[in-house]
Amino acid sequence: MTDAANTYSGPQRILSGMQPTGQLHLGNYLGALVNWVALQERGAECFYCIVDLHAITMPHDPKALPDAVRSAAAAYMAAGVDPSRSAVFAQSAVPAHAELAWIFQCVARLGWLERMTQFKDKTGKDAERASVGIFTYPVLQAADILVYKATHVPVGEDQKQHLELARDIAARFMREFDCEGAFPLPEPVIQGPGARIMSLRDGTKKMSKSDESDASRINLVDDADTIARKIKKAKTDPEPLPETAEGLQNRPEAANLAGIYAALAGTSLETVLTEFGGKGFGVFKPALADLAVAKLAPISAEYRRLTGDPAEIDRILQRGAERARAVAAPVIAEAKKIVGFWG
């Protein structure tokens, strides 16, 4: 991990992204989107992309990809991203991401990528058959961030290692080419009880789009009955909720449900346990279901409204891409000059 000092003095900028694969779920919302919106509301300059270049590192259906991008854009906006303030765009619409990724591939070291746990998780024993893209995936992620000189990156806990790599790449680029201060060392914004939402079927596994059980996750588009049913069926243990957070140790399912409640209510785990400590899941689950429905129903209604007008989503993505290209253009030009490209 880099211990280089951050000597960058440019403006604060926020960048984050999600893969347009599968439906966005509660983990994406509480781990990332909530913080995206909070940063936007604080007046920061925000870039929120849909990472379709990353999506093709795994087998995908080319016919379904454009709609998956529109659907992710609609979910961002339904969750509160305002495209008149934050740039919402497809990563593939800004070629500078891929250009900077190539430069960074020549800066990052093979050993760094070999240590990435997500690569190991995604490919398992089949690493030899994985695409090269899935291996260099985190380098493209570093380019996504640094092509805007983004200083802050709101993500869930699972992205921490990729963010450290982005800092390492920025630091090495500046050392190697003697251009200190050219890039910020981007700071991850990983905060709140929503940073790591686990599966409803197994509290030791991350809630994920790729889990084959739909009951393991709450999708942002689930209707009220589905949300309530999934919470009712969520795995728990027979004990009542404890009164303090220490009492959640070795109780992954209880910890997860209490964490989801805290994140949805915008409060701390301690506050939730003060209210529900000593109460069983027969009381807690209906309260959680009511809260989840109250928070998510407006999002899913807005999502449905937005996806009803794909032409408008395309206009928003166009405008977002124009803004993003304008900010990325001088950065990629500077990076090309630093490495000595002709012209």
Supply angle C-alpha 332, 334, 338, rounded to 5.
115
Nearer to ligand TYM, 6 or 343 (CB): 6
Whether 331 contacts 96, CB under 8 Å: yes
203 lies in the site for ligand TYM, by CB under 6 A? no
Nearer to ligand TYM, 153 or 273 (CB): 153
* Euclidean distance between CA atoms 41 and 45, whole angstroms: 10
Size of the site for ligand TYM (CB under 6 A): 25
Among 23, 31, 83, 321, binds ligand TYM (CB under 6 A): 31
- The token pair at 161 is 């290692």
Residue 206: active-site member:
yes
Minimal CB distance residue for ligand TYM: 31
Q: Does the footprint of ligand TYM cover residue 50 (CB under 6 A)?
A: no
Confirm or reject binding of residue 184 to ligand TYM (CB under 6 A): no
Identify whether 120 is a catalytic site residue. no
Active-site annotation holder among 125, 160, 205, 209: 209
Closer CB to ligand TYM, residue 116 or residue 286?
Answer: 116
Short-list 233, 234, 232, 244, CA closest to 278: 244
Minimum distance of ligand TYM from residue 240's CB (angstroms): 25
Distances (CA, A) of 340 to 35, 143, 221: 38, 18, 48
Count the neighbouring beta carbons within 10 Å of the beta carbon of residue 305.
Answer: 12
Residues in region 82-141 near ligand TYM by CB under 6 A? 141
Task: Please choose, from the candidates 133, 28, 15, the residue with its C-alpha nearest in 3D space to the C-alpha of residue 72.
Answer: 28
CA distance 312 to 315: 5
Window 132 to 171, contacts with ligand TYM (CB under 6 A)? 141, 144-145, 153, 155-156, 158-159, 162
Q: Is 336 marked active-site?
A: no
Q: Which residue in 165, 189, 207, 264 binds ligand TYM (CB under 6 A)?
A: 207
In angstroms, the CA 229 to CA 287 distance is 13
Cβ neighbours for 312, distance < 8 A, ≥ 6 positions apart? 306
Q: Establish if 323 lies at the interface with ligand TYM (CB under 6 A).
A: no
- Measured CA to CA, the distance from residue 107 to residue 167 in angstroms comes to 12
Residues that bind ligand TYM (CB under 6 A): 15-19, 27-28, 31-32, 51, 54, 141, 144-145, 153, 155-156, 158-159, 162, 195-197, 206-207
What amino acid positions are annotated as catalytic residues? 122, 206, 209
